[in-house]
Structure 1
Amino acid sequence: MEEYKFNECVRTQSKRLYLIALSFTKNQADAEDILQNVYLKLFNCKKEFESDEHIAKWLTKVCINESKDLLRLHFRKRSVPLEEAINLSCIDNTQDIDLIKAVMSLPKNQRAVIHLFYFEDLQINEIAKLLGVKESTVKARLSRARQKLKAKLGDDDYE
């Protein structure tokens, strides 16, 4: 990949990929490590991408796989306060902070589908493919996560 194209990917995809990694790890340092691994793979990748959208989807898949690998390798439950896990300086208002905290408190599998569906605008079939599960599983996780978020946040502001 050409250097200018690589730099453009880093500039445009970093925040999105960081949030994906963070949704899996709940740990800022681990999310940053995952992001570095993702960009190292992109830098060393010899594959020709058809479009920017193709690159974005490839990076999303690599980020998810790197996140799963890290969790599987370490098999640890290292918890930190949500304020530490979330870089609150990049979030604009209190309502967004409350929403992100509520999403981060969900179980990992529900947190992942919520993030991919709402924040990455992926379709259910795309999420199923990325996570390696059936579409019905994605729908069930999405439904359970929505119920939990409604209970935590109330259903007035987040419909």
Structure 2
Amino acid sequence: MNDEQGFEAFVRRRGRDLWRSAWLLTGDGGRAEDLVQTALAKTYPRYDGNDRSFEAYVRTTIYRTFVSWWRRRWTGEVPSERMPEPGPDGGSAPAVDLNEGLRIDVLRALAELPRAQRAVLVLRYFEDLPIAEVAELLGLAQGTVKAYSHRALEQLRGSVHLEEQQS
């Protein structure tokens, strides 16, 4: 299999998981698709056939591209009514198993967070990355990652969407 065929096979195998991560960051299916396509276009020339290291490289590119987009202050995010389904290969779903109503409320609450805080939460709790790696990916100090995480969790705890679920 040549590099082009290997790259296409990689995209077929891992594309949905990459899209799901991008969707958690952007909150919008179209933006998530744009983000993944942009990252794949940037990384394609460096595909070496090692899917594991290449996926890490693509994910890093997704996160860094997202950061550069957030610095442009894009505000067209719209919370979705449904969380993406696992891929045909049983790809990784978010680590939470929530009823549909709570899932929608969590997504709405996430969409209300500032983009930097949402990125930190997605990387820390959905991607399960350590603070040091989140800091490196987003180009932030570790203390900033901790502060963003703390503030975001506080805001989620006080979210009107999640308070409605508790009553």
TM-score (norm 2): 0.72
Contact 1:124 1:139 in 2 (8 A): yes
Q: CA RMSD in A?
A: 2.9
- In 1, Cα distance between the equivalents of 2:36 and 2:152? 26
Q: Match for 2:135: what amino acid?
A: A
Partner of 2:154: 147
Identify the structure with the greater helix proportion. 1
Q: 2:115 aligns with which of 83, 89, 108?
A: 108
Number of equivalent positions: 149
Deviation, structure 1 residue 138: 0.4
Contact 1:26 1:104 in 2 (8 A): yes
Deviation, structure 1 residue 46: 5.1
Partner of 2:94: none
Determine whether 1:69 maps to 2:50.
no
- In 1, Cα distance between the equivalents of 2:107 and 2:42? 28
- In 2, Cα distance between the equivalents of 1:56 and 1:46? 10
Deviation, structure 1 residue 17: 2.8
Determine whether 1:121 maps to 2:122.
no
Determine whether 1:79 maps to 2:76.
yes
- In 1, Cα distance between the equivalents of 2:46 and 2:74? 32
- Give per-residue Cα distances to partners, 1:81-135, cap 9 Å, x unaligned: 423xx6x262584122222221121110110000001111110000001011111
Deviation, structure 1 residue 143: 0.7
Contact 1:26 1:79 in 2 (8 A): no
Contact 1:128 1:138 in 2 (8 A): yes
Partner of 1:21: 22
Deviation, structure 1 residue 2: 2.4
TM-score (norm 1): 0.75
Q: Unpaired segments of 5 or more residues in structure 1?
A: none
Partner of 2:91: none
Summarize the alignment of residues 45-60 of structure 1 with structure 2, pairs less than 5 Å apart. 45=46, 49=50, 52=52, 54-60=53-59
Deviation, structure 1 residue 45: 1.5
Q: Match for 1:42: what amino acid?
A: T
